[in-house]
Amino acid sequence: MSDLVNNIERFPQGHPVRVYVEENLLVKQLFEELFKTEVKEDFEKFFNIFNQLCEVEKHFARKENQLFPYLEKNGWTSPSQNMWAFHDQIRDEIKTARKLIEVKAFDDILNACITIYNSLSHIIQVEEQRLLPRAFEMLTEDDWKEMREGDEEIGWMFSTPPVRYPELKEEEYIHPSQDKKKRELPFSLEDRTHYDEGYLTPEQVNFIFKFLPVDITYVDENDKVVFYNRGDDRVFPRSAGIIGREVKFCHPPKSVDQVLKILEEFKAGRQDTAEFWIQFKGLFVHIRYFAVRDDEGVYKGVIEMSQDVTDIKKLEGDKRLLDWA
């Protein structure tokens, strides 16, 4: 066993380093169970254990989106550049094994799982001998506390989440949308607004809406149109005159009843989404409506999204390389 495993008690319950090590121990335990199970004789059990192992994706995602950014801020970039590529290799190995299991290719399943085992054993060794010990020395206590908050959004391999680190009293809890922590960021917060996560200037918000490949219209809780994005390739034309207009007057008579029905169901809390797809001027258009509610579940309006999915609908297979001329 690694020194980290032997000295795991030096880390408090719920500390991100301890949780990574505990997940590694779980991976080893699951592989022991997997290799003791005869895939032909007890296929369902084998498949269930395999699916539990696939939860290692959350382990990878936390490293990539949580741990690595903190290391980058301290000048250690090689994990992002090298270990991430190894994560992707293991993801491909898991995908290959899953396909074999789903078609019950019994002669090849074991070898595919052994490949995953060898790869995960190697990455666990790198984590416990180099990545996590150095990260623990490099990062501050405040870093680990902040990281634990973000970890919760991604999740863990365990069926029951690890205990909170550090344990928060109820009165100390702050909803993410009210986050006031002063993190060290490589940009000024002047003229920026804090959203659920991240900070944007009004110009950046406008850029996002302008370049999104979807038409967006926001109708408030009073059924008034308060916003639409003005992209260059809108499916349905809009003009400034729509702002402040009742939404029932913004649709052709033949579809007004459906729109009002959607609003009625959203306001009553009986539905949260509605979708349609139509042929329009040679395009295949996907139209979706989403109820908007605050943290208490109070109705705050509806977002209408329309997108030309003509080319998306034709996609098949994989595309992993650029084919720019």
pLDDT, position 253: 74
- What pLDDT does 180 receive? 47
Residue 169 forms part of a structural domain: no
232 and 104 co-located in one domain: no
pLDDT of residue 175: 53
Residues 217 and 119 in one domain: no
250 and 146 in one domain?
A: no
**Orientation angle between helical segments 84-102 and 43-53, nearest 10 degrees:** 160
Tell me if 22 is assigned to some domain: yes
> In angstroms, rounded to a whole number, what is the distance separating the alpha carbons of residues 132 and 94?
24
122-146 CB burial, b ≥16 within 10 A, e <16: ebbeebbeebbeebeeebeeebbeb
In a domain, 127, yes or no: yes
- Neighbouring CB atoms inside 10 A of 203's CB total 9
My answer on whether 28 and 142 are in the same domain is yes
11 and 146 both lie in a single domain: yes
Q: Are residues 280 and 148 in the same domain?
A: no
DSSP state of 295: T
The count of other CB atoms within 10 Å of the CB of residue 99 is 12
Domain count of the fold of the chain? 2
Q: Does residue 47 lie in a domain region?
A: yes
- Claim to verify: residue 78 and residue 210 sit in the same structural domain: no
Residue 37: the pLDDT is 95
Domain-located, residue 212:
yes
Structure tokens at 101: 């299991």
In the sheet with 273-280, reading across from the earlier edge strand, the strands are 225-228, 215-220, 299-308, 283-293, 273-280
- Residues contacting 277, CB < 8 A, separation 6+: 284, 285, 286, 287, 309
Q: Is residue 88 part of a domain?
A: yes
Q: How many CB atoms lie within 10 A of CB 10?
A: 12
- CB burial class (10 A; 0-12, 13-18, 19+) of residue 323? exposed
Q: Which of 137, 154, 171 is the last residue of a domain?
A: 154
Looking at the fold, whether 214 and 96 belong to one and the same domain comes out as no
Residues 6+ apart with CB under 8 A from 140: none
Helices 16-36, 106-126: axis angle to 10 degrees equals 150
**Which residue numbers in the chain have pLDDT < 50?**
171-173, 176-177, 180
Is 259 within 8 Å of 247 (Cβ atoms)?
A: yes
Verify that 139 and 227 share a domain, yes or no. no
CATH code, domain with 116: 1.20.120.520
Residues 124, 227: one domain? no
pLDDT at residue number 15:
94
CB atoms under 10 Å from CB of 34, counted, come to 20
Burial of 82 (0-12, 13-18, 19+ CB in 10 A): exposed
Q: Which residues contact 37 (CB under 8 A, 6 or more apart)?
A: 45, 46, 49
Q: What is the pLDDT of residue 250?
A: 74
E strand or H helix at 238, and its extent?
Answer: none
Whether residue 94 contacts residue 116, with contact meaning beta carbons closer than 8 Å, is answered with yes
Domain stop point among 154, 184, 216: 154
The CATH number assigned to the domain holding 251 equals 3.30.450.20
Pair (22, 132) in one structural domain: yes
Residue pair 63/88 in contact by the 8 Å Cβ criterion? no
Query: Is 143 a member of any domain?
Result: yes
226 domain residue, yes or no: yes
My answer on whether 145 and 7 are in the same domain is yes
Domain with 226, as residue range(s), is 202-314
- Give the pLDDT of residue 48: 96
Print burial letters for 218-255: b (CB count within 10 Å at least 16), e (below 16).
bbebebebeebbebeeebeebeeebeeeebeebeeeee
Answer for the pair 24, 127: CB distance below 8 angstroms, yes or no. yes
Give the end of a domain, one of 131, 154, 177. 154
DSSP secondary structure, 72-99, as one string? HHTT--HIIIIIHHHHHHHHHHHHHHHH
DSSP three-state, residue 71: helix
The type of residue at 33 is E
